[in-house]
Amino acid sequence: MIYVPDPVYNPDNQSVITPRTKLAEGISMARFLGGYGDKQTMTHIISKSERLSLAKQYYLQAQVILTVADDVSGEFSDYRLTVAEGLYRPAPGETLDVGSTNYMMANGQAVVYELIDEDGNNAAEKTFDLAVYLKDNIEFEKMILDYDSYDPGGELNAQIVMIMPKIRHPWAVTYQNKIETQFNNYVQSTNELVEILEI
């Protein structure tokens, strides 16, 4: 399908793409560069076309944030949807597995979101609700409900990896709407979201 972006925020209409480039009201490119999990800049992306491509991918991601903000039920009003990992820049010499999440985070297709409660903690239980909400309210290429036990403190961590389709010029997209649940990078289910309660 051909996606029709808001002309005000359409990156095609911007003369330059910088961290200040607005992708939606109140959402700039910086939102996807300053993920607390891996802060990056755009300085290594010199090509104008690459920057534009990145901005267009993040335009789709901005709609994810807006979709949650627009939730009228108030279900998530006490939680903050944060970008945990946005643009990924591999270390010199680091080879990324093609098609991996980090590979797609390097080109803007994927963004990792985390839901934070009022106490600043990972809201694992609510993250499942958010994944269900997103599944029903937005289209994507693939959404991964991602749990892990990496935290040295032994706490369960829940995040949502949202992968948007690669935009074909100018705005052609094909949504697959695949969903998956992972635990420590191991797939627990496909085409189904599974809530993990205990590790």
Partner 1 sequence: MATELPQDFVKGEEQIDLTGVSPASEGFSDPSSSFPKKDYLNTSSSNQSARGLKINKVYTGGGYKNISLNLKPVQSSVYPYNQVKETASGHIQEIDDTPGAERMLFRHRTGSGVEMRADGTVIISSVGNTVRITAKDEKVIVDGDAEMVYNGNLSLQVAGNFDVVVGGDYNVTVGGNKNDEVRGSHKQQVRKTQKTIVTEHQSNFVGGTQTETILGSANKIIKGNVKQIVEGGFDFYSGDDITMTAEDTIVMSADNTNIAANDMTVIGASGTIGGDNIIHYGKSYWGETFHGTLEGKADEAAFADLASGAYVAGGLGGPGSANYPSHNTTATINATSGIMNDYLHNSGFGIREVSVDPGNSLLNSFDRTEDYGGLSNRELTISEVRSKLRDINALNNQKFVGAMIAEGKLNPSYNQQAPKKIGRTASISGTPRRGTQPLGNRADVTKRFKS
Residues 67-126 that bind partner 1 (CB under 8 A): 67, 69-75, 77-80, 82-85, 88, 91-97, 100-103, 105, 112, 114-123
Give Cα 79 to chain centroid, integer Å. 17
Among 10, 14, 38, 45, contact with partner 1 (rule: CB under 8 A)? 38
Instruction: Kindly state the number of chain residues that form the binding site for partner 1, as judged by CB under 8 A.
Output: 97
Residues 5-24 interacting with partner 1 (rule: CB under 8 A):
19-20
| Min dist. Cβ of residue 52 to partner 1 (A) | 19
CB nearer partner 1, residue 29 or residue 53: 29
Among 12, 13, 26, 172, contact with partner 1 (rule: CB under 8 A)? 26
CB nearer partner 1, residue 20 or residue 48: 20
8 Å CB contact between 122 and 157: yes
3-state secondary structure of 5: coil
8 Å CB contact between 158 and 150: no
Residues 135-194 interacting with partner 1 (rule: CB under 8 A):
135-139, 147-154, 156-157, 161, 175, 177-179, 183-186, 188-189, 191-194
Q: How far apart are CA 23 and CA 11, in angstroms?
A: 7
For 68, phi then psi, to 5°, come to: -70, -40
CB nearer partner 1, residue 8 or residue 197: 197
| Min dist. Cβ of residue 48 to partner 1 (A) | 19
Residues 6+ apart with CB under 8 A from 38: 85, 86, 88
8 Å CB contact between 183 and 148: yes
CB nearer partner 1, residue 55 or residue 156: 156
Q: How far apart are CA 21 and CA 87, in angstroms?
A: 15
Q: How far apart are CA 2 and CA 116, in angstroms?
A: 34
| Min dist. Cβ of residue 11 to partner 1 (A) | 16
8 Å CB contact between 163 and 109: yes
CB nearer partner 1, residue 52 or residue 96: 96
Among 52, 66, 166, 171, contact with partner 1 (rule: CB under 8 A)? 66
For 166, phi then psi, to 5°, come to: -70, 125
Residue 46 within binding range of partner 1, rule CB under 8 A: no
